[in-house]
Structure 1
Amino acid sequence: MAYRLSLKKKNIVVALHVMAVASWIGGTMGMLLLGVYLQTAANGEQLASMLGSMEIIDENQLKYPALATLLTGILLSVWTQWGLLKHYWVVLKLVLTLATILIGIFFLNDWTASLASLTESRGNAALASREFQQTWSAVIRTSSFNLGCLLFMVVITYLKPFGKIKKTRRRAPHEQ
């Protein structure tokens, strides 16, 4: 029989999971709001300050909570009755969590750094450049998508839709 968490231990892991998710959502919202307000920067110094704040949020309120969410989610699924691959909603949450983390690592980090680099070299004039606007637009769209995924995952955690994954019975060679 697989290891199962006691109720007290499960509640501790659930609390850690909820705190990590809340922090990740808050960080994502913060990044999105700062990203939107980049367009209102009065000067290059203010623009650089906003981008610096975005990098701090990314580094401290996105990466670690995302990792904590992933780890506690996996622990909860394998150490409780839900299982990692028993229910569609658990698998969907795992896929969306991994996708959101990978999008942050491979796209949003680079785009935010690119905006900071453009601002460093051009100051407030960076706002008028096509490169800045395209990258900024990608950051806004992608951050919105990530926030939508996170909120959707919260909803399916409570609704637990889609049912259980049906096990397919393997046929023995003599049955074919």
Structure 2
Amino acid sequence: MLIFIITLLATLLLLTFLCVFLSKNLRKKLAKTNKQCWLIAHVLAVIIYFSGVFGQLLVTISMTFFTEQSEIYTGILFISYFDHYLTIPGALASFFTGIWLALRTHWGGLTKYYWVLIKWVGNMLAIFFGALITGNVVYNLFPKILSSGLHPLQNPLYLQSRRMLFLGIGVSMSLLTFLVIISYLKPWGKRKNT
């Protein structure tokens, strides 16, 4: 797990530094049409990201009412599908497009405005926390539950994993909601030391 965490953080930082490096070599800011296209891509990525996390939340809530083993296994499968096809791609795309917009528009980089800095760090935290909690439950604990031979409702690991999943999804949804709100409000203004 430690190797995964280090790899994830290194990947996010490498993606950030790659964007900064490429941006430094492109002196001109994005033209209005290009900026609008990147902004649309960013908003769509955030929608996909939100949809994945919200879908996982709905399935996790539904699983509290499932009693049949096949229903529970299907719920676990759907949670992993939401993660693979919506949450992870949406998170990475919103991370990349957000950095690119911050670097290539009048916002002037990742650290010039407090709200941009908070969004960058907050998105890394959301990705990190989602991978740490939700990813651990979906890809490490649920397979152990499926292979245990016990009915999931008789397996304490399943009940604990479901609670951890609620926690992980709740924190992710809270962080994402906060990031969307500050994207709209753009609070706190410009940093003084930039």
TM-score (normalised: structure 2): 0.81
1:105: Cα distance to partner? 2.2
1:81: Cα distance to partner? 1.1
Contact kept? 1:88, 1:162, Cα under 8 Å: yes
1:88: Cα distance to partner? 0.7
1:136: Cα distance to partner? 1.0
Contact kept? 2:145, 2:155, Cα under 8 Å: no
Larger relative contact order (CA 8 Å, sep ≥ 6): 1
* CA deviation string 1:79-130 (max 9, x = no partner): 011121101111111111001111222331121131243034335x222332
The equivalent of 2:124 in structure 1 is 98
Q: Take 2:128 and 2:165, find their aligned partners in 1: how far apart are those partners?
A: 14
The equivalent of 1:89 in structure 2 is 115
Are 1:27 and 2:34 matched, yes or no? no
User: Structure 2 stretches of 5 or more lacking a match?
Assistant: 1-25
1:42: Cα distance to partner? 2.8
- Choose from 103, 118, 124 the match for 2:145: 118
Contact kept? 1:39, 1:127, Cα under 8 Å: no
TM-score (normalised: structure 1): 0.89
1:63: Cα distance to partner? 0.8
CA RMSD, 1 decimal: 1.6
Contact kept? 2:113, 2:189, Cα under 8 Å: yes
The equivalent of 1:171 in structure 2 is none
Structure 1's consecutive aligned runs of 4 or more residues displaced over 4 angstroms after TM superposition are none
The equivalent of 2:4 in structure 1 is none
Contact kept? 1:20, 1:66, Cα under 8 Å: yes
1:4: Cα distance to partner? 0.4
* CA deviation string 1:30-64 (max 9, x = no partner): 00111111121131111111100111110110111
Contact kept? 2:49, 2:90, Cα under 8 Å: yes
One-letter code aligned to 2:137 = W
Q: Take 1:50 and 1:29, find their aligned partners in 2: how far apart are those partners?
A: 14
The equivalent of 1:165 in structure 2 is 191
Question: What is the identity percentage for the equivalent residue pairs of Structure 1 and Structure 2?
Answer: 27
Are 1:78 and 2:122 matched, yes or no? no
The equivalent of 1:47 in structure 2 is 72
Provide the aligned length of Structure 1 versus Structure 2: 167
The equivalent of 1:132 in structure 2 is 158
Between 126-135 and 91-100, the greater mean CA deviation after superposition: 126-135
Contact kept? 2:72, 2:152, Cα under 8 Å: no
The equivalent of 1:149 in structure 2 is 175
Q: Take 2:90 and 2:132, find their aligned partners in 1: how far apart are those partners?
A: 17
* CA deviation string 1:138-166 (max 9, x = no partner): 11011011011111111111111112111
Q: Which has the larger radius of gyration?
A: 1
